Each structure stands twice: as structure tokens, then as C-alpha cells.
Amino acid sequence: MKNTTPVRWNNCLVQDNFLFPRMKTAHETTIPSSVKRCYETGRIEAFKHNWHEGMPNKPHIYWDSDVAKVIEGMAFDLVLNPDSGREKQMEEIISLIVSSQLEDGYLNSYFAHIAPDERWKIIHDNHELYCAGHLIEAAVAHFQATGRRNFLDAMCRYADYISTVFGREEGKLRAYPGHQELELALCKLAQATGREKYWQLAAYFVDERGTEPNYFREVEGMRPEGKGYHSKPFSVDYAQAHKPVREQSEAVGHAVRAGYLYSGMADIARKYNDTALLAACEKLFDDIVEKKMYITGSIGSELVGESFGKPYALPNATAYAETCAAISLAMFADRMLNITGDMKYADVVEKAIYNGILSGISLSGDRYFYRNMLETNPRTTYVTQRQLWFNTSCCPTNFCRFLPQLGSYLWSESEEGVRLNIPAQSTFSSNGIRISVKGNYPYDGKIVITFESAGEFTFACRIPGWCRSYQVKLNGSVERINGNAPEWRRAWQEGDCIELELDMPIELVYSSTDVIEDIGKAAICRGPLVYAVEVCDVNEELWRYVIDRTSLHLTPVNGLPGGTYGISGRALREKKRGDSLYTTVAPEYEEVTFTAVPYSLWQNRGPSTMQVWMRY
Amino acid sequence: MKNTTPVRWNNCLVQDNFLFPRMKTAHETTIPSSVKRCYETGRIEAFKHNWHEGMPNKPHIYWDSDVAKVIEGMAFDLVLNPDSGREKQMEEIISLIVSSQLEDGYLNSYFAHIAPDERWKIIHDNHELYCAGHLIEAAVAHFQATGRRNFLDAMCRYADYISTVFGREEGKLRAYPGHQELELALCKLAQATGREKYWQLAAYFVDERGTEPNYFREVEGMRPEGKGYHSKPFSVDYAQAHKPVREQSEAVGHAVRAGYLYSGMADIARKYNDTALLAACEKLFDDIVEKKMYITGSIGSELVGESFGKPYALPNATAYAETCAAISLAMFADRMLNITGDMKYADVVEKAIYNGILSGISLSGDRYFYRNMLETNPRTTYVTQRQLWFNTSCCPTNFCRFLPQLGSYLWSESEEGVRLNIPAQSTFSSNGIRISVKGNYPYDGKIVITFESAGEFTFACRIPGWCRSYQVKLNGSVERINGNAPEWRRAWQEGDCIELELDMPIELVYSSTDVIEDIGKAAICRGPLVYAVEVCDVNEELWRYVIDRTSLHLTPVNGLPGGTYGISGRALREKKRGDSLYTTVAPEYEEVTFTAVPYSLWQNRGPSTMQVWMRY
């Protein structure tokens, strides 16, 4: 099935024990605590345009995006939890945002008030169009959730104004976002409003990017260095503006910008049936997945620049692997999945969600990783504990909006029928179709899919890429399956039942020999889950362990949610040697056991260190 | 033998095939090419104080130190090669330097002319006292080499002036060098001139450092970030000013500053028989050698800050390991060796010279490493080829002065007698004593020491720390040896002969289990040499090799100087796997051979990559 759409977020009720608890925590903790932080830090007050020197909480250029993502999350969550009593608060914030819009449509709490002379002056770095994009996404979510148009209309005015500033016409700036995001937001706005002009504006931003004369060329190297991990001299490839996007085939530069851009490119490619643009998306995706993606679905290995590294440069301890980058990859992959129906994209969506995204937030829902390293150790000087908040809080606020939407990643639909992409326990209801999925995914590969309504349509499901052996039964009879997206077109009866038995052995996964950092090491995986050995489960230095590949078995884990499976096994542990830094005495080993836990759940039992890739 | 002094550089004629070729190259290439660079880049012109806006080659705050080190090297080299015809050039430069001295004694080509208002204003970061130190060292060398006092007298005036600016007396700045070096230079000046006041000024700078109220505390964090590897916000521990030096027991901060400071501390401890200060030196040395030194004798593992890392933080690919830091460690260890007579210090001197220092310069003598990594690979974005010069050219110019002095590291002397610290082929002549050392060290442990003059004195030699089995013969009779610095007091006859047979097996060396990066790996060593596998000798990716510990043997190496021994052996090489970034297909291996070369000689056969620590 091609040309599907993700199911509307509230048409899939997630009911499993792995994803749903995170959605529940998002509702109970992540969203309200983020709203609170937005108030406390002045992010919401900023829309009052009343800050002056001497006051605390001076507004910042990307604060609007944080508030927008929280609003977006509140809107999605409101539909899932209609009795939360937060609607009033959400509407108040939205009213404040809308009231801050200037006469001409411009809306930015920083540049409208703090630095009005800089409006549209430092486009490569000032995040104005990025903030606009997130505000638009929030407005669309608010409209979808409530049917109210006040925010949407304001954002249409903003988009209309932006279209008077940017474009190829005489007198307009032939620029495009320095931090991409607006492209995909405009596509959403176009879909929500049915207005073609927003598609065209999005397409302009996509198409204009990287063309000659290059709008950003003259600001290359202009960014002051060293203000943080992301700060290196601005370069056109850092912002994926080094060549026209259709000519890009290698993922380079800032990984979050890349993921959002590629998502927007996919939206435009789909809208205009633009095969050249889609081909670029496919090439970029393949480049990421074949050369630049961590086994956890995280991307952006380079600390400096928060960017993609060279092919196969995937250091574990110094990984950047920003939470937002993994989210942006899931967004991109989900779009490609729905355009092409190719299950390889669903594999990446799943990999990212179950590993590199959920690792970014604590089970408590209020502590976050910016960087999702694959190995932490006591020698490093980096922060390796989840933090309550960040000055640059894109990651926490991304969870506010991503978690309530999780259901939409599980199912796709089209006029033809529906497809189960990720077989987590859930109930799908849309267009009169109602299907339930039961099972203990991702810990168990046995899935029971029950049709709870009658009707003729195509049902498809995914055989995950990690699964090499499976059986599928339709109403008790074994089905012969070709490919990894079996589909059945029939008049379904209430009570029809498809059973998936996805063999889910414990497996060791090896990196390509091109990945220097993983040579001689293996990652323990089972189903969609990557496992990590956490120091609290072994009480000795992780790097001294050499695991025995033949001894791995499932085990319960203390201190993690009931139902969590760990993986235990035997290992040789290098004995601690004496005080000498260097010695000719050959290492000795002792036989020990070890336990690994799902990577996304690490560091939920106090400060800890962790290692994904283990010597074997 | 304690309280020895290094032999005067020209009283040891180095005649071996390992060190001497480097000294020869220094004479033929390193020094003249550095002089040329100093002219070309304006470093010498700067002393004319004629630069103005619009001219090329704007002077820089630490240029004087480069010229000073080149002059120091020219002076030492002049004595070794009296017919080089460079004396006139040296004197011309010195005349220019001296002529640039201001009325009050101040001499700095940058601050006297470019930024006179900043004199002594940014002491923590502006390198004025550092430049002064190097100028003083150069002047002492010039005086020692030629007997001429013009430069020395000028530098005495500068030191006298400095003593009117800095000190504990009312109205003086209670400051001390931000980049240490002046301390040890003043000790040299004191020795050369016999003036006690320079000892006192040096002692002041050593003692005042890190006392409260802390002179540098208020500038903490003030340095603009990100202007290069060394630039992070200034902190007192970065400059070893976090506590009084006597209370320091852990090596922290910028490694070159540390090494120069510790050298000055050792000089002062010796001069004043200051046991507390010596104890601090011993603790700092032990902290380095037990927790923070690469197997190559390099120090300073942290890229950002060019500084010591946490204990056992010794990354190989991202090592900073600056050439100058290894030189400063050799300088510090050599002082400790001569004070204490403890051979552990000589072991470190030797380790640094034969590995982490000489790796910093090409065999051609005109290409340099700033960073001496222990592993380079094609994924990195760092510079991993030796460069012709650097804007910050401390490393090249350090070779200019270090290489001609190599002989002084080989022998120590005192009123009691002499000690052979490093048994490289050489001839010692001092105070009527003449001793020759013959052998093919470091490739062969058989050393013949012949007394070429008669006289009663103590002769001592070192049994290297790497040597666990040896035989010593005196005039053909096997001697019973206790300890690692056997000594003989006797009336030596011309023709007396000591034969050392130091067993020099190929050995694998393992790091402490505390070093994460070296776990499961071993370094191939023989005698004082650490070996590295270079990609040009194996033609496949180094990280795929797993060496067979039982198969190592000596082998000649193509393309390196005659007499160079490589080490070959069998290895298993992981077969290249297909295109998939991650796979469950277990690695397969093929049997191959490999060759390692002395680490200090790597990358002398074209651009290359290299690995010291190999999986076994």
C-alpha cells in the first residue's frame, strides 16, 4: 500500500506497556512541567512584549518554538485526555500569543520586542522562520484538536506576511530558513486550510535552498565560535544549503535541521508527485541509514556542529545523537513510509522510537538527555545524566508534542485500507473500521489482530526488518507470505483474526567493519530493542567485560517497570591490575555474569554509566 | 649518585644511528628552515617596531618566544657545528632583538609596539613573561656558546626590570606568569651570571603562584572561547594556580605550562634544598606517570584546553599530546633525575625522547606534529599529517633548541663522577674524563663502554626500567648488580671496559584496566621503543587487525633509514563485511601478517594512518 497517511493521532489508542506509559507520563508530567518551565523562565511572559533591561528572563531568539511545541503537545494530549482541565490554560497562552501578533502579521516575541531592527536580518542563524514553523504546527494541532480557528487564522496571517517577504519576486528576499522546520509546517498548514499558496510557499523554501547565487554564502564563517556544542562557523553545508536539495545525496550538517528539511522535502515531493525530489529523499535516507545512523536510530555523531560526521564516523562515547535529531529522523522516515509503502522506512521509525528517542526522557517524564550517547564512562567530562531542563530546551518540548502523537506512527491508512506498521498493543478506529492489536510487543513477538468491525478493505501489516522467521495465521490457517508487508483484501467479518508470530531471539548485532569504534564489539538486541549494560547491574567497570555470545537469556530486571525484560549472560571480566599504568603482565579474566537492559530505559535507577557495544 | 648535573650539551658527542641523525637534520634543515620562517612571517622584522595597519604579518603576542627558541637552538648548534656560517646571522638577529629593548629594560616586540597600553595588563593570557623566559634562555645559550655577553646583559636588564614590576613589595604586582617558563629561565640566568637575585625572583614566581588572594581568580572565565583547541575559559587550575605549588599533588591544566612550571619548581627545590617543594615535584611526577602519561611519554590528553584529563583518561585518536608537552616532561624528569638519582626519572626522559618527542618531527626535519596522537584514522576531521609550520609555532621552534641539546640528556656528572643515563652510542668528555659508548641502541641492548682516560671517579650507569634481564661485565668479569643504577668507584685505567647486555625482547605492554581506550589492546614495545602499525605496511584498515602475541619477530622495514628494525607478526584480520551498517552475521577472520615500525618514525613514507594500541 502506497500513498497512505499516518492515522490521526487519536484514532489509534495505544494500550501497550512500553509506549503507552510514556504517553501517560507525558500527560501527567512532561507537558505540565514544561508548561510550568515556560512560565517560570519567562517564555510565555515574553509574548507580552514587556521585558526591559534589568528584568530577569531576557527573551531569547528561539523561545517561541518551545512554547509552540508545548501548545502543540497540549492540543494533541487534550483530545486523548479531554478531562485534564488544561484547556483553559492552553487557550490563555494561545490568546496571549495571538495578541502579540503585529499589525503586518509578524509574530516573534524576541524580534518584535527585543530586537525589532534585526527582523529578517540574520536569517541563517536567528531562528525566526524556525519559530514561525513551530507556531504554525501548534496552530494546526490546536485547530485539529478543538476546531477553533483563532490560532490557525493568526498563523495564516503570519504565513501570508512571510510570503510577502520571501520569494523569487522582485523586492523579496530570496532566502530560506537557516534552521529548517517551516517547510513541513507550511505543508501542514496547507493541508489544514486547503490553501494551495502554503504548499507553494513551502515548495519555494525547499526549491530555493542551495541555489546560486547562494543566499548564505556570504555569511559563511560569520557565526561567533565556541558558544556551545552547536557553534562553529556557519557554513552552507551545515544548513544543507550547499547545493539545491534535489542534487543532495549525502546527509551533511546539523542533523536536526537536516531531518526537518528532509521531512519537508518528502511532503513537497508527495504533494507535487515530484519524483526527482523523492529520489533525493531516498538517496539522503539511504545515506543516513547505510553510513550515518547509530544502531539506536540516533543521528548526528559530531559534537561540534551537532552534525552528521563522515561516513561510518559513529563514535559512541562522544556521540552527539541529539534527541530532536532522532525525532526528526522518525518524522522523515514516517513520511517516506507513507509515500512509498516500503517497510525499510518503518524499520527506522521503530528503531528510533524504541531506542534513541525514548532514551531522551526519563521514565518519570521530567528529565531529559540532549545527547543520547551509546557509551558513558567516568573518565568523560561531558554531562551524562538526564537534566531537568535546558536553556535550549528543544528536546524537552519536542517530547511534549511527540509523545501524544505516538499512535499515529503505529498505523497508516488510505482509501484502500489500513496498515499496521508497529504491532504494539493498540486499537485502531477510523472510517468505520475498528481493529484491535493485542500482545506484549516489543517483548513478545506474538501478536493477535482482531477485526472488530465488518467491511471490505485492504489490511496490511509489517514484518519487521529485524525478524527473520515468523508465521502468520488468518483465522487459524497459516498464510503464505511474500515480502515484508503482507496484505489481504477481503470483506472482513467482525471477529476475523490475524495472528503474527514474529520470532524474537536474542541476537548479537555487529557493525560494518567500517565503523572503527565498534570493531570487536557487538550490541545485544531483541526485536526492536537495543540493549545496554548499565553499571548498576554489574557493579564493575563495563569496559572490562567480554560477553559470551552463547549464554544470553531473558531475565527480569530490578527497579524497572514490571514486564521489562533484561538480558543476562556470562562474561569474562578482565581482572583489575595493580597500580602500574603500563605492564607486560598479560590480562587475566574471571567468569562473571552480566545483565543488559533496554537502552531506552537506562539511567532510570539513579546516576549510572552505560555501554551499548560490548566486547565479545 | 645524587645532585648531578646534565653534561654540557657539547661535552657529549652523540654518535648513534637514532638520535644523531635527528641532530644532524636539526642542523641542516630544522634550524635554517625555522630561521627562514621567522623572517618570512615577520617574526624577526617585528623587533624593528615598524609594523603598521595595512602591512602584512601583524606581530603576535608570542612571536618573540619563537625567535628566542630558534636563537637558542642556533647557539647550541653553533658549538656542535662551528663551521656552519650561521654565526653572523645569529648575531644580527640578536643585535636586532637587543636594539628593540626599551629604556626601562622592557623587551617585547608586540606589547612595546602594537599594544603598549596593554603591558602587564592581561598577565594570565598575554604570554609576556613567557616570551621573556624564552628570550632569557636564548641569551644564556648564546653566552654559553660564544662567551659574548651582549644578549645576556640585555636580558639581565630585562630581568632586573621585571623584578621592579613583580613581587611582594608595596606597589608591585603580586602576579606570576600565566604561561610558565620564566621560572626555569631565571634559574638558568642565575646560574649563568651567579646573581642570587634571579634565583630569588624565580622563587618568588614559584612561591607566589596559587596563593590567596588569588591573582588570577578574577579573570577566571574571561578568555573568549573557541579560538582554537587551547581556548577555553581561563581557570586557575588551567594555569596551575589553583593552590600554592607546594600543595599541588595532581597534575592539572595546560600540560606545557605544567611541565615548564614543574621544571622551575625542581630547579628552585634543588637550589634551596627545599624538601617540601621537591616532595610536591615528586607527587606531581608520580601522578603524571601513574595516571596521565601516554605510553609514548606524551602528556595532555584533553583536546580542549590542551590539558591533562581526568586520571586514566587517555584517549588515543583524540589525544592532544602536544610535542612541547612531551619536551617539557623530559625537561622536568631530567631535573628530577639529576636531583634524586632515581632511575625512574631517566626512564621517562628516555620514553619521551625516543617516542612522543621525536614523533613530532619528520625525518626530513621540516614537518611537525603539534598533536602526537596514538591512533589516526580516516574518519577523523582532525589534521593528522605533519605540517610545514604553524601560526602558533612553539613545537617547530622547540625542536630547534631541543635537538642540539640531546647529548646533555645522555649523561650526568657531579664532582663524584659520571653516569650514563641513556646508553646511546656517544663520547663523553668532561673534566679530563673521556668515555666512549658503542652499540646499536635502541635496537640492540649490547653496549660497550670504554674508558679512554685514566682517573679515579665514580662511574654509574642505568639499567633501564624496561629491562628485566641483563648482564654487566667489568673488564670481562660478570658483575653482581643491585638496583638499577650500578656504580663503580675506582681508579679507572685507559682501556677499562664495561659491557652491558640488556635483554631486549619484543614485548606486549598492556595498560591498566583503568584506561578504557586500551582495554583488550596491547602496544608492541622493544627496549625504549614503542611501535605503531602504519597503514602503508599492511594496506588494510588497521582496526580490523587482531595481532597474534606469539608470532612477533624483528624485520627490516622498507623506506625507513637503514638499520631500522620493524616488528612483524601474524594477525587475524576481520574480513570486510558487505554494505549493511548493522548485521547479525558474525565476523569472520583471515590470517595475515603485519609489520609495526617505531612510533617516532611513523608517517615518514607519505600520508598515512597509524595505530599504537592493537587488539590481540
**Residues of chain B under the 70 pLDDT cut:** 222-232
- Asked whether residue A127 falls in the same domain as residue A212, the answer is yes
| Whether residue B384 is found in the same domain as residue B246 | yes
**For the residues A117-125, what does the mean pLDDT come to?**
93
CA-to-CA distance for A612 and A137, rounded, in angstroms?
35
Position B231 scores a pLDDT of 54
Pick the closest to residue A19 from A478, A422, A575, A582 (CA basis): A422
- Give the minimum alpha-carbon distance from B291 to chain A in angstroms, rounded to a whole number: 6
Range list of H helices, B391-523:
394-402, 406-410
Average pLDDT over chain B, rounded to whole?
95
Residues A410-461: tens digit of each pLDDT: 999 999 999 999 999 999 999 999 999 999 999 999 999 999 999 999 999 9
Is B519's CB within 8 Å of A580's CB?
no
* CATH number of the domain to which B169 belongs: 1.50.10
Based on the domain organization, do B467 and B512 belong to the same domain?
A: no
Q: Mean pLDDT across the stretch A451-472?
A: 97
B230 vs A48: which has the higher pLDDT: A48
Task: Tell me the shortest Cα–Cα distance from A525 to chain B, in angstroms.
Answer: 10
Q: Which residue of A has its CA nearest to B586?
A: A510
pLDDT in tens, A5-20: 999 999 999 999 999 9
My answer on whether A374 and A475 are in the same domain is: no
Measure A142 CA to nearest chain B CA, in Å.
40
Contact B574 A309 (CB under 8 A): no
Last residue of a domain, one of A445, A480, A502: A502
Interface contact A310-B512, CB threshold 8 A:
no
In chain B, residues with a C-beta closer than 8 Å to the C-beta of A523 are 582
Is B152 strand, coil or helix? helix
Strand, helix or coil for residue A395: helix
Residues 6+ apart with CB under 8 A from A79: A9, A10, A145
Q: Are B131 and B65 in contact (CB under 8 A)?
A: yes
B residues 41-80 lying closer than 8 A (beta carbon) to A? none
Q: End-to-end distance of chain A based on CA atoms, in angstroms? A: 41
CB-CB: which of B226, B519, B579 is closest to A574?
B519
- Residue A481: the pLDDT is 94
| A26 is a domain residue | yes
Residue B250 lies in a domain: yes
Q: What is the pLDDT of residue A231?
A: 55
Collect all residues of chain B within an 8 Å Cβ-Cβ radius of residue A541: 513-514, 516
Q: Is B512 on the interface with A (CB under 8 A)?
A: yes
Domain boundary among A350, A380, A412: A412
What span, in angstroms and rounded, lies between the C-alpha atoms of A91 and A4? 32
Same domain? For A551 and A445 the reply is no
Which of B381, B516, B547, B616 should we substitute to test contact with A (largest number of A Cβ atoms within 10 Å)? B516
CA Rg value for chain A: 24
Chain B hits for A380, CB-CB cut-off 8 Å, are: 313
Chain mean pLDDT for chain A: 95
Q: Which of A502, A520, A546 is the last residue of a domain?
A: A502
Contact A510 B585 (CB under 8 A): yes
Whether the per-residue pLDDT at A221 is higher than 80: the answer is no
Q: Beta-strand (E) ranges in B205-332?
A: none
Domain count, chain B: 3
Share of chain A above pLDDT 70, in %: 98
Q: Residue A290: closest CA among chain B residues belongs to which residue?
A: B581
Clarify whether residues A448 and A582 are in a common domain: no
pLDDT at A336: 98
Q: Examine residue B176 and state whether it is found in any structural domain, yes or no.
A: yes
* Residue A237: per-residue pLDDT: 94
Contacts of B519 in chain A (CB under 8 A): 543-544, 574, 615
Helix (H, G, I), strand (E, B) or coil at B5: strand
The answer to the question of residue A510 being in a domain is: yes
Cis ω before B213 (30° cut-off from 0) = yes
Same domain for B399 and B453, yes or no, is no
CB contact under 8 A, A510 and B546: no
Which is more confidently placed, A376 or B219? A376
User: B482 and B513 in one domain?
Assistant: no
Q: CA B27 to CA B196: how far, in whole Å? A: 35
> How close B217 comes to chain A (CA, Å)?
22
Nearest residue to B391 (alpha-carbon basis) of B60, B74, B134: B60
Nearest beta carbon to residue A581 from set B291, B318, B516: B291
Nearest to B584 among A508, A514, A615 (CB): A508
Q: Which of residues 200-239 of A touch B (CB under 8 A)?
A: 224-227, 231
CA–CA distance, B50 with A426 (Å, rounded to integer): 79
CA–CA separation, A438 and A461 (whole Å):
14
Residue A604: pLDDT over 90: yes
Say yes or no for a CB contact (<8 Å) between B515 and A581: yes
Within a domain: A419: no
Q: Do A513 and B574 touch (CB under 8 A)?
A: yes
- The CA-based diameter of chain A, rounded to the nearest angstrom, is 77
Contact check, Cβ <8 Å, A310/B515:
no
- Amino acid identity of A125? D
Domain that holds residue B597: 506-615
Closest chain A residue by Cα to residue B513: A576
Question: Is the domain of A336 the same as that of A197?
Answer: yes
User: Which residue of B lies nearest to A526 if distances are taken between CA atoms?
Assistant: B584
CA–CA distance, A492 with A450 (Å, rounded to integer): 10
Q: Is B415 exposed, middle or buried (0-12, 13-18, 19+ CB in 10 A)?
A: exposed
Q: Which residues from chain B sit within 8 angstroms of residue A226, using beta carbons?
A: 224-227, 231
Q: How far apart are the CA of B283 and the nearest CA of chain A, in angstroms?
A: 15
Higher pLDDT, A219 or A153: A153
Cβ pairs bridging A and B (under 8 Å): 134
How far, in Å, CA of A289 to CA of A295, rounded? 9
Binary contact (B291, A227; C-beta < 8 A): no
pLDDT at B88: 97
Please indicate whether, in this complex, the C-beta atoms of A584 and B318 are within 8 angstroms of each other.
Answer: no
Q: How far is B547 from chain A (nearest CA, A)?
A: 13
> A29 in the Ramachandran plot: left (φ > 0), alpha (ψ -120 to 50) or beta?
alpha
A31 touches chain B (CB under 8 A): no
Both B316 and B362 in one domain: the answer is yes
CATH code of residue A448: 2.60.40
Q: pLDDT of A266-317, one tens digit each?
A: 999 999 999 999 999 999 999 999 999 999 999 999 988 899 999 999 999 9
Q: Which of A45, A72, A181, A306 is catalytic?
A: A306
Same domain assignment for residues A399 and A523: no
Q: Is there a domain that residue A425 lies in?
A: no
Q: Is residue A424 part of a domain?
A: no
Looking at chain A from residue 333 to 392, which residues have their Cβ under 8 Å from any Cβ of chain B? 377-381
Alpha helices in A100-195 (DSSP H): 128-146, 150-165, 182-193
Task: Write out pLDDT tens, residues A18-47.
Answer: 999 999 999 999 999 999 999 999 999 999
A545-547 and B613-615 strand pairing: unpaired
Query: Is residue B280 in a domain?
Result: yes
Tell me the DSSP string of B589-603.
EEEEEEEEEEGGG-S
Q: Which residue out of B225, B379, B503 would a mutagenesis test of the A interface target, given it has the greatest number of A Cβ atoms within 10 Å?
A: B379
Q: What is the pLDDT of residues A80-109, one digit of tens each?
A: 999 889 999 999 999 999 999 999 999 999
Residues B225 and B175 in one domain: yes
Q: Within its chain, how far is the Cα of A73 from the centroid?
A: 14
Q: What residues of B act catalytically? A: 306, 394
| pLDDT at residue A228 tops 90 | no
A576: distance to nearest CA of chain B, Å? Answer: 6
